[in-house]
């Protein structure tokens, strides 16, 4: 028996249709790439909503509507990179403000706050956000942002977004969640109480390792106004082709995440049984310390994991150079599998600090290839 139509369309329907009605001129079912920097006006100030392409572009608008829908937010804003989106939020701060951030936050985020904003008078406190009392203790009257990442990169810590958002709100700070690792298909931080959700769309949303982009979504119209102002004033916007590539990627996000998660689980379980592997960090393993929280907060567990082998750094570097399907590369979230050694690659900027991951940690972005091929590749590389 057919089921009654639901009021709100499902995730997959929104991914393919939100902001993407057939175009008005010729009925193209795909949003056109409006490759233009400016728009002709009928009379001074009389135009169809667009005057200059830093301020707005219809391809970008379609992407922003779609991203908002996927995060179940009221609005979305697209940026030229995840860091441009991060910087827009950081730009809302002034000298004397304080930020509490997760102690294994994305390396580029830490670098931005540490090297650029600390100099301008913004104070930082990195904390292990698994310990809610430590976060409570870190809060000051001047705390404006609590910066959350879950699962974290590269150690795959899972933190309680709802509880952390509550702590942020008690202190009158914004709860911001970098949701890049989970993607909106696996986790919607706004539904757990976060004020802003941020993505590097370069990763799972774009999904094909062919574009760099970023996004922010939220519900509060005042925050939208502030961030849209900064998006235009500082100008970290995506070009029309890049916006289109991210939008095309988003259409298949749900099916890709299902396969990334199935492959991630299978690879994690295989690694966990391997005699040379001493540790596997994957939220889908029952041995993960926050597995129960991950089950509650996430729909599935994704394609990111990290592990350590006997022999430490030397063994980690050796095996990372020996895989044939897993490409040795930075970045993550594409259809193809990638392998890297975080401390020597993505996390070089935290080397020598207490934020540094173990030197022998290997990170995998498990792609959507045939999973038996991926496991065979790791088997020959680990030896
Ligand atoms: C890649 C990444 C970023 C930065 O995004 P770019 O698109 O590279 O600027 C931020 N946060 C996380 C978790 C990331 O993986």
Tens of pLDDT along 125-150?
999 999 999 999 999 999 999 999 99
Residue-level pLDDT at 346: 82
54 noted as active-site residue? yes
Catalytic residue chosen out of the listed positions 114, 203, 224, 256? 203
Question: Using CA positions, which residue lies closest to atom 8 of ligand 1?
Answer: 82
Pairing of strands 143-149, 98-102: parallel
Q: Can you read off the two tokens belonging to residue 132?
A: 């809610």
pLDDT at 349: 74
pLDDT digits (tens, 9 = 90+) for 86-112: 999 999 999 999 999 999 898 899 999
The answer to whether residue 2 scores a pLDDT higher than 80 is no
Task: List the CATH code of the domain at 253-382.
Answer: 3.90.1150.10
pLDDT at residue 203 is higher than 60: yes
pLDDT of residue 101: 97
> Do the Cβ atoms of 146 and 152 come closer than 8 Å?
no
The best mutation among 108, 181, 205, 246 to test binding of ligand 1, ranked by most ligand atoms within 8 Å of the C-beta, falls on 108
- Asked whether residue 240 carries a pLDDT value surpassing 80, the answer given is yes
161-184 confidence digits (pLDDT tens): 999 999 999 999 999 999 999 999
Stated pTM of the model: 0.96
Q: Which of 103, 104, 178, 377 is catalytic?
A: 178
Predicted pLDDT at 160 = 98
Specify the range with the lowest mean pLDDT, choosing from 69-73, 86-90, 106-110, 226-230: 106-110
| Model confidence at 6: pLDDT above 80 | no
Fold of 11-251: 3.40.640
Name the residue with tokens 């022998």: 360
The domains of the chain are located at 11-251, 253-382
Question: What is the pLDDT of the chain when averaged over all its residues?
Answer: 96
β-partners of residue 147 are 101, 176
What are the Cα distances from residue 9, in Å, to 14, 27, 92, 187, 366?
6, 22, 34, 17, 29
User: pLDDT tens for residues 261-300?
Assistant: 999 999 999 999 999 999 999 999 999 999 999 999 999 9
Nearest-CA residue for ligand 1 atom 11 is 106
* pLDDT of 123 strictly over 80: yes
Nearest alpha carbon to residue 281 among 158, 370, 132: 158
Residue 1: pLDDT over 70? no
Q: Give residue 350's pLDDT.
A: 78
**Pocket around ligand 1 at a 6 A CB cut-off:** 81-83, 106, 108-109, 149, 153, 178, 180-181, 200, 202-203, 212, 214
The C-alpha angle 64, 109, 350, rounded to 5 degrees, equals: 155
With bands split at pLDDT 50, 70 and 90, how would you rate the model's confidence at 4?
low
Say if residues 81 and 236 touch (Cβ distance below 8 Å).
yes
Q: Whose CA is closest to atom 2 on ligand 1?
A: 200
| pLDDT tens track for 343-375 | 898 887 778 887 788 999 999 999 999 999 999
Say which DSSP state 303 is in: S
In the chain, the percentage of residues whose pLDDT exceeds 70 is: 98
């Amino acid at each position: 028996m057919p089921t009654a139509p639901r009021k709100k369309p499902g995730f997959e329907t929104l991914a393919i249709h939100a902001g993407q009605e057939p175009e008005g001129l010729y009925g193209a079912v795909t949003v056109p790439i409006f490759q233009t920097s400016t728009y002709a006006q009928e009379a001074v100030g009389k135009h169809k909503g667009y005057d200059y392409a830093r301020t707005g572009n219809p391809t970008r608008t379609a992407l922003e509507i779609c991203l908002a829908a996927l995060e179940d937010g009221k609005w979305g804003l697209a940026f030229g990179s995840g860091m441009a989106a991060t910087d827009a939020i950081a730009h809302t701060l002034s000298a004397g403000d304080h930020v509490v951030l997760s102690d294994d936050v994305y390396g580029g985020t830490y670098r931005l706050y540490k090297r650029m904003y600390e100099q301008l008078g913004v104070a930082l406190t990195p904390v292990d956000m698994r310990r809610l009392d430590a976060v409570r203790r870190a809060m000051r009257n001047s705390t404006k942002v609590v910066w959350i990442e879950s699962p974290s990169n590269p150690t795959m810590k899972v933190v309680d977004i709802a509880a952390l958002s509550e702590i942020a709100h008690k202190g009158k700070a914004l709860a911001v969640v970098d949701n890049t690792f989970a993607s909106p298909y696996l986790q919607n931080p706004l539904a757990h109480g976060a004020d802003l959700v941020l993505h590097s769309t370069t990763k799972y949303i774009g999904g094909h390792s062919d574009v760099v982009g970023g996004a922010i979504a939220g519900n509060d119209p005042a925050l939208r106004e502030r961030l849209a102002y900064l998006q235009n004033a500082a100008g970290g916007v995506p070009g029309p082709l890049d916006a289109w590539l991210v939008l095309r990627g988003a259409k298949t996000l749900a099916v890709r995440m299902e396969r990334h998660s199935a492959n991630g689980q299978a690879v994690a379980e295989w690694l966990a049984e391997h005699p040379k592997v001493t540790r596997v960090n994957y939220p889908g393993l029952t041995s993960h310390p926050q597995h129960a929280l991950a089950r509650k907060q996430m729909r599935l567990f994704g394609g990111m994991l990290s592990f350590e082998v006997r022999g430490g750094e030397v063994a980690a570097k050796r095996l990372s150079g020996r895989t044939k399907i897993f490409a040795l590369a930075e970045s993550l979230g594409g259809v193809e599998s990638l392998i890297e050694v975080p401390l020597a690659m993505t996390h070089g900027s935290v080397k020598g600090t207490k934020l540094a991951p173990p030197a022998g940690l290997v990170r995998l972005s498990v792609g959507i290839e045939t999973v038996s091929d991926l496991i065979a590749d790791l088997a020959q590389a680990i030896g």
